[in-house]
Chains A and B, each alone.
Chain A
Amino acid sequence: MLRTLKFLLPALVPSWRFFDVIAPSPRIQFVWSESRADNIEHVSWREFRPPPAHISLIGMLGHLFWNPRRNETLYLVSCAERLLQGYTRHSEDEILRRIARELAAQTGYLQFRLLLVKRVGDSLQHTVAFHSRIQVLPMRDGL
């Protein structure tokens, strides 16, 4: 209860600091292996929901009314940021189970990592900042 009130307080007394600093940006990458024998460490990492190459203006306007995938992706970015501030099982679970649902994988082993992208001078630097546990699939729905 106290924790929930702690979440509520920033809504009642907001700080309104949108985009004040453009911080290093997390990307979620994952590996999935059908069997442990495949050795998950040797499977190449794939970016979770990379943005499309192009979206038309009509598509953008349509997203005003229906944009669940994008909003879930932004939620997962929040979970990634929370993980980078300090490990929470909830954020790790949320990312794992939403990747698992997207893969529609019935069985296997799943792991994700967080790649931090930041600008150093004129070039972009990529740093691996977090590895999740290796999760056996299927996961239970709901927490």
Chain B
Amino acid sequence: MSFDEAMRLTEILLGFAFAQQSIEHFNSFAKEQRLFIPRFFLALLLIAGVQADWVLLLLFLLGLVQLYYFQGPYNGGSDRMSLLILSCLCLAEWAPGVFWRELAFGYLAVQLVFSYFFSGWVKIINPEWRSGRALRDVFLFSVYPVSESLRLWSTSPRILFVAAWGVMLFELIFPLGLLMQCSLMIALVVAASFHLANACLFGLNRFFWIWLAAYPSLLWFQQRFVSALT
């Protein structure tokens, strides 16, 4: 995937994710609507590819206003990833030369790899994750399960032990996916399935869409740097 293709695909996916997020605020308080209705239309312009550089800049400024309005991110990690992608795209659009443009976009790809690897690392060094206890606690008493019936999963420790190790090992070995294009494709499909499961079980739909938006950067990065080395 070329740099321009990856940038364009990221813009389209980011535009879709922002439009989806924004629509969810249309029935909220008046001040919130004043933030999210313009964001929705800017997202549509981003999808259409109209003046992407200016649209990205306006979306970034609107992102800062939202941070102030909510005194932090509205939805934790997904909002942080939204801002990271937005910042990297903005820099890549406005940077003066190819080197700086690639550096900005490459930073996004590297952070995407870190998002999996470090999430796996902080889990595997915790004995409660290694024993499966932590995942049982997620289902037992955390706010995340979307329904009471899902809490019953906490009574299946063997299944959750296997699931916990599956998640940790996948997150830790994710960087190895970069070695070949086909292994990266497999890693991204597994990762997307993981986010889909989180969206269904924990209601984290925004994570699903926003992490997908960062994938083109990694497809480009693998081809541009890793393939060249191997």
Contacts and interface: CB of A to CB of B under 8 A. Distances in A.
Contact of A74 (B29, B68, B75): B75
Contact of B143 (A7, A8, A14, A74): A74
Interface in B54-111: 64, 67-77, 79-84, 87, 111
B156 interface: no
B149 interface: yes
Interface stretch (A64-72, A103-111, A128-136): A64-72
A54 interface: yes
Nearest to B137: A22
A119 interface: yes
Nearest to A17: B122
A51 B148 contact: yes
A61 B200 contact: yes
A10 B123 contact: no
Contacts of A78: 72-76
A37 interface: no
Interface stretch (B4-12, B180-188, B201-209, B222-230): B201-209
B141 A67 contact: no
A18 B67 contact: no
B70 A20 contact: no
A74 B134 contact: no
Contact of A90 (B23, B28, B71): B71
Interface in A20-47: 20-22, 25-27
Nearest to B146: A55
Contacts of A53: 147-149
A65 B205 contact: yes
Given A17-B122, A52-B147, A74-B75, A124 B140 contact: yes
Contacts of A25: 141-143
Nearest to A118: B141
B149 A8 contact: no
Nearest to A90: B71
B115 interface: yes
A11 B79 contact: yes
A77 B143 contact: yes
Contacts of B67: 4, 7-8
A43 to B, nearest CB: 24
A26 to B, nearest CB: 7
Interface of A: 3-4, 7-8, 10-12, 14-22, 25-27, 51-55, 57, 60-61, 63-68, 70-75, 77-78, 82, 88, 90-91, 94, 97, 101, 117-119, 124, 141-143
29 contacts: A3-B71, A12-B83, A14-B84, A14-B115, A15-B118, A16-B117, A18-B119, A20-B122, A22-B138, A25-B142, A52-B146, A53-B149, A55-B146, A57-B200, A64-B196, A68-B25, A70-B203, A70-B205, A71-B205, A73-B143, A74-B76, A74-B203, A75-B74, A78-B74, A88-B71, A90-B71, A119-B140, A124-B141, A143-B31
Closest 9 CB pairs of A and B: A68-B24, A11-B83, A20-B122, A142-B31, A60-B200, A70-B203, A22-B137, A11-B80, A16-B118
